[in-house]
Structures are given as C-alpha cells and as structure tokens.
Amino acid sequence: MDGPTRAATRLDRAWSTLEQHRDRVAPLHLRDLFAGDPDRFQRFTLRHEDLLFDYAKQRVTTETMALLHELARAADLAGWIDRMFSGEHINPTEDRAAFHVALRSRSTAPMRVDGRDVMPDVRAVLERMRAFADRVRAGEWAGATGRPVRAVVNIGIGGSDLGPVMADQALIHWRHPGIDIRYVSNIEGADLTGALRDLDPATTLFIVASKTFTTQETMTNATSARAWLVGTLGEAAVSRHFVAVSTNLQAVAAFGIEAENAFGFWDWVGGRYSLWSAIGLPVMIGIGPEAFDRLLDGAHAIDRHFRDAPLDANLPVAMALIGIWNTNFLGARTHAVLPYDQGLRRFPAYLQQLEMESNGKSVDRDGRPVRHATSPVVFGEPGTNGQHAFVQLFHQGTDPVPTDFLAPVEPNHDLTDHHDILLANMVAQAQALAIGEDEPEARAAMIAAGIDRATADRLAPHRTFPGNRPSSTFLFRRLDPFTLGRLVALYEHKVFVQGVIWGVNPFDQWGVELGKTLARKVLPELSLDALPAEGQDASTAGLIAYIKATRAASDPPAALARLGSPQT
Ligand code: F6P
C-alpha cells in the first residue's frame, strides 16, 4: 500500500470507529454523563491563562475525545499545522501560502514564504501604520484646509470590513474619544449616505480597504465618497483625505491615491484573515498602536499554543473536533455563537465569514466530492437578547443547535449588578440546554406553583425541556485587546483544523464568484433603454422586466425620454 492509500485507509477507519462509538454513546443523556462522573468539569475543560474553555456540556466521553484525536492524527493534522507555519502553499487552488500567523509573529525568527523572510516587510508596514495612526490620533494629520481629521470612514466589505468593525466595537473602551470611526460596506446607498450625513469633508479621512481593489461595492462607494469630498474641497484635497489598504498598489495609484498614502499587504493574507494586516488600520487609529500590539500579542500567544500544545490540551483542536463530532456524528447542521458581551455583538457576523466562507465547500482539495458534511450554518446574537428571540428553538425545537457561549467574568463598565444578571443567565441557559426538565419534573413544578393537576397534565408536554443539547462555554477575565486577539485566533485555527479533517481547502472562496459574474451581466439589462434580457431563465427575465416596468411607471417622462419616445 502506498503512503496516500495508507493515510486514506487510516482516516476511513477513524471515521467508522467514531460512527460505531456514536451508536453506543448517542443514547446517553448529558444528565447520565454528569451523574456518572463527578469530575466531568475538570476532565473536559482546557485553559489558556485566564481563558477557560468548558466543553463538559458536550455529548462526549473520554473515549469520544480519544477517537477524535485519532481522527486528527489520521488526517495528518500535525503535518498540516507544520505546513501552515512553514509558509507552504497550503491554498492549492490559488497556489498561495496562508500565512496570517506571520502578521502577528512577535518572535525574531524568520517566517519564510517561497524562501523569503516576510518579517521585514511585515514590520515595515506595521511601523508605517503606527506612525500614521499616531499622527491622526494626535491631530497632526491635517486635511486640505489645515484642520485636523476628526472622523475616519473605512470603506471595505467582507474581510476588509467585518474584522475591523468587530474589533472596533469590542474594544470601544480603548477608543480615542476625539475620533469618530465609521464603516461603510454595503453598496446599498443608505450605508454611505448615512455615514456621511453629519460629517464635514474638511475633517474626514477615508480609508479604502480592499485586498484586490477591484471589489464592485468598495470601488463604487469609494468613488462616491471621492465625489462627495471633491464637490466641497476640490480635486487637490484627495491626497489629504484618502488613504488605501491593498495588495494591488497599481490600482490604488490609478484611483488617485499616492504611494505614500497606501499601506500594502500580500497575497498570502486571506481576506478573512486580514484583520492583523494593514486592514486593521482603522482599529489601530481607534485604539492606538500599543493596544493594537496587544491584539497581535493575543493572537500570537494562541498561535504558539496551537503549534506547540499536544492534541489533548490544544484549545483550537478541541473546538474543531467537538464541532466535527456535532456535525458529522450527531447530525447538527447549525452552530450558534452567543457572546454575552455587548462589545462582541458583531463577533457572530465575523465568524460567519470565517467559518462559512472557509469551509462551506463540497469538494475536497483534489476536487473530488466530499464524503461528509462540511461547515454548519453559523449564526448568533449577543446574550441575553437571543434568549428573547430564537433560543426557544434551541430548547424545544426538533433540531439541536450546538452553541458556544462566551463571556468576560469582569465587565468593562461599572454596572456590576447588570453583569451578575448577565452571567447568571448565560450559565443557566447552558444548564437548561444540557440538563433540561422532564415531564414529571415539569408537572411537579407546576403543582408546586399552585396550578391544578388537570391543567398541569395538559401543559406538561409543552413545558418539558428534553435537554441533552450540547454547548461549550468560554470565560475570560475581561474583554481587552489581548483576549480579543486570542479569541479570534482560536476560531481561526479551529476553522483550519476542521478544513484539514474535512479535506477541503479553507483558504479559497470560489463560491462567491458566479453571483458577481452574473450581476455584471444583469446590471446593463436593468437600464430602461436596454433590450429585453436574452438568455436569462424565465424568473430572472421576469424580475428584470418588473424592475424596468416599475421604474418606467413611476417616472414616465424620464423613462420615455430615455427610451427616445417622440412624445417627449
Ligand atoms: O466576495 C468575497 C470576498 O472576496 C471576500 O473573501 C473578501 O474578504 C471580500 O470579498 C472583499 O474583498 P476585497 O478585500 O478584495 O475587496
């Protein structure tokens, strides 16, 4: 048997051993697992300094974890981790490294891609970012009229938006009080007009953030923002009010942004891993270079842990394997992330891109159909808001939703009584999901509360909680830049581990392309003077025709003029 065949056989064996194990343990309820093991909390928690990861409420046993570790070994996880940290081209469809770990490396060791140490370039860009952020924060970066910048508008989308927005909101307590930072991502014009409504062009700085500098939404928003600025301050003002972050410095220059106002990064930085690069510039302006360094420190600390910790003590590995267990063996198709911290309210949205754009794939690295389910649908809202919305389904719906709860033990505000209520709710939700309340218990509780027996009997099925619904809980001392860096890196590596085990390439995103191509074809067909759409399916043609007819009806003279009607 050759090497690859032997590896495939080992992987198949690991999957089927886990399937047999699942058949044995699936009937066990989390109640039984807790009753049978008083040390379950100690056994199924991991720590990184003050950060605790409790997965005791997952439907796993020690044997489950051992078999999952064997699955990771069979997928050559250690080899893949090594390849990632060695700058190998682990993104085969784009023939690139995925080397975001270099962006936050705090060591003096070289980090090589294609034989070249990238660290001098990484440090040089960070240094320029620091100098620029310091000038803006100190009021030394003057606009065209000589007045200092007071508002920064980041224009970007996807990875060029979600990471910075998420981090900015999470670290709001570190934010410079005199600088207003806003984010525009959507092509829907209300996003840009809303952001600019009360801004003064003379004190506004735009950051155009786009890895490719070709993204339709970003370039359209940037062009409109430029027109807004030039309309008041004139063309010459652009160089004082626009900076860019991109890998495509030629396109940046073509847009009219000078080289000294451009911050570069590299093709080995994936969009959804770019927060650590110059894409983090608005965050650095907001929280300052020192706090940004702490963010990088946190991510680097997890990089080292991920690379060096043994499988059974490795947090991202545990997170990934538990996700695989829930998805591939217990049949979950969703995954909820519920941060009990208002600052982390965009964390689920950030993770949606990280997880679903990375692992939402149906073919493996070699282009063959995958044999197992890949990324679940990820969603979430901050607690306790979610409790008053979708959490009903978590407790009593037909499909369990594996959930991650996250909370700081200490808040970044003084309302400690609020925080106690918050934490009590989070802990109780995880308990209710796991332990539940069976029908006799539900009936007894109602009778104890004075409800008559007939009513209690009638309501008992509705007031029963099956429990056995898995969740993990992350607790950390405080949400600060270091911990945010750790949290993001934990999830990044989790996604990587899952990609390795599912055999997919988590670093490309070809699935976003078809819609972009089709939109380019549809766009001219929406024009009133365009001929009826050809080659479109009936539904698409019907929608295009409806848009045109509605426009023509709501503005007949203009429509007729554009149609060249003799009546005009
Ligand atoms: O459309 C998806 C995507 O390519 C993401 O992967 C990326 O983060 C986003 O668009 C923005 O791309 P860019 O930074 O090149 O504008």
The answer to whether the CB of 186 falls within 8 A of the CB of 193 is no
Is the pLDDT assigned to residue 563 strictly greater than 90?
no
- Choosing from 160, 210, 495 the residue with most ligand 1 atoms within 8 A of its CB, the one to mutate for a pocket test is 160
- Residue 3, pLDDT score: 80
CB atoms within 10 A of CB 207: 25
Answer whether 3-74+309-435+469-508 and 113-292 agree in fold. yes
- Choosing from 211, 355, 357, 513 the residue with most ligand 1 atoms within 8 A of its CB, the one to mutate for a pocket test is 211
12 in the Ramachandran plot: left (φ > 0), alpha (ψ -120 to 50) or beta? alpha
Is the pLDDT assigned to residue 567 strictly greater than 90?
no
Over the stretch 326-354, which tens digit does the pLDDT of each residue have? 999 999 999 999 999 999 999 999 999 99
If pLDDT is split at 50, 70 and 90, which confidence band does 556 have?
Answer: low
Q: How far is the CA of 216 from the centre of ligand 1 (A)?
A: 10
Ligand 1 contact via 485 beta carbon (within 6 Å) = no
Residue 375, SS3 per DSSP:
coil
Beta strands 242-246 and 334-339 are unpaired
Tokens of 510: 């070809």
Give the pLDDT mean for 219-226.
98
- Residue 8, pLDDT score: 86
Ligand 1 contact via 220 beta carbon (within 6 Å) = no
**Would you please indicate which residues are annotated as catalytic (active-site) residues?**
357, 388, 516
Over the stretch 466-519, which tens digit does the pLDDT of each residue have? 999 999 999 999 999 999 999 999 999 999 999 999 999 999 999 999 999 999
Q: What are residue 53's DSSP bridge partners?
A: 46, 474
Is the pLDDT assigned to residue 564 strictly greater than 70?
no
Is the pLDDT assigned to residue 557 strictly greater than 70?
no
Q: What percentage of the chain reaches a pLDDT higher than 70?
A: 98
Give the pLDDT mean for 537-545.
96
Over the stretch 348-402, which tens digit does the pLDDT of each residue have? 999 999 999 999 999 999 999 999 999 999 999 999 999 999 999 999 999 999 9
- Residue 568, pLDDT score: 34
Report the candidate in 340, 377, 373 with the shortest Cα–Cα distance to residue 356.
Answer: 377
DSSP letters spanning 501-516: HHT--TT--GGGHHHH
Q: How far is the CA of 508 from the centre of ligand 1 (A)?
A: 11
Task: Write the burial class of residue 209 (CB in 10 Å: 0-12 exposed, 13-18 middle, 19+ buried).
Answer: buried
Return d(Cα 481, Cα 214) in angstroms, integer.
31
Tokens of 320: 């990934």
Q: What percentage of the chain reaches a pLDDT higher than 90?
A: 95
CATH T-level assignment (fold) for domain 3-74+309-435+469-508: Rossmann fold (3.40.50)
- Residue 411, pLDDT score: 96
Q: How far is the CA of 534 from the centre of ligand 1 (A)?
A: 30
Tokens of 351: 């993770």
* Mean pLDDT, all residues of the chain: 96
- Choosing from 184, 512, 520 the residue with most ligand 1 atoms within 8 A of its CB, the one to mutate for a pocket test is 512
Type of residue found at 522? V
| pTM of the predicted structure, to 2 decimals | 0.96
Over the stretch 111-136, which tens digit does the pLDDT of each residue have? 999 999 999 999 999 999 999 999 99
If pLDDT is split at 50, 70 and 90, which confidence band does 562 have?
Answer: low
Domain residue spans of the chain:
3-74+309-435+469-508, 113-292, 511-563
Over the stretch 27-55, which tens digit does the pLDDT of each residue have? 999 999 999 999 999 999 999 999 999 99
Return d(Cα 106, Cα 165) in angstroms, integer.
24
If pLDDT is split at 50, 70 and 90, which confidence band does 533 have?
Answer: confident
Ligand 1 contact via 289 beta carbon (within 6 Å) = no
Ligand 1 contact via 159 beta carbon (within 6 Å) = yes
Return d(Cα 27, Cα 13) in angstroms, integer.
23
Nearest ligand 1 atom, CA 209: 14
Query: Which residue blocks in 471-537 are alpha helix, DSSP H?
Result: 481-502, 513-525
The answer to whether the CB of 311 falls within 8 A of the CB of 73 is yes
Report the candidate in 91, 90, 44, 41 with the shortest Cα–Cα distance to residue 63.
Answer: 44
Over the stretch 39-96, which tens digit does the pLDDT of each residue have? 999 999 999 999 999 999 999 999 999 999 999 999 999 999 999 999 999 999 999 9
CATH number of 113-292: 3.40.50.10490
Nearest ligand 1 atom, CA 156: 16
CB atoms within 10 A of CB 182: 19
Supply the DSSP symbol for 460. Answer: T
Over the stretch 130-146, which tens digit does the pLDDT of each residue have? 999 999 999 999 999 99
Give the pLDDT mean for 304-320.
98
Report the candidate in 217, 150, 215, 207 with the shortest Cα–Cα distance to residue 183.
Answer: 207
Strand ranges of the sheet holding 204-209, from the earlier edge strand across to the other edge: 180-184, 151-155, 204-209, 242-246, 262-264
CB atoms within 10 A of CB 124: 11
If pLDDT is split at 50, 70 and 90, which confidence band does 442 have?
Answer: very high
Ligand 1 contact via 300 beta carbon (within 6 Å) = no
Give the pLDDT mean for 239-246.
96
Ligand 1 contact via 218 beta carbon (within 6 Å) = yes
DSSP letters spanning 33-69: HHHT-TTHHHHTEEEETTEEEE-TTSS--HHHHHHHH
Instruction: Check the CA dihedral 275-277-279-280 and report its sign.
Output: positive
Ligand 1 contact via 215 beta carbon (within 6 Å) = yes
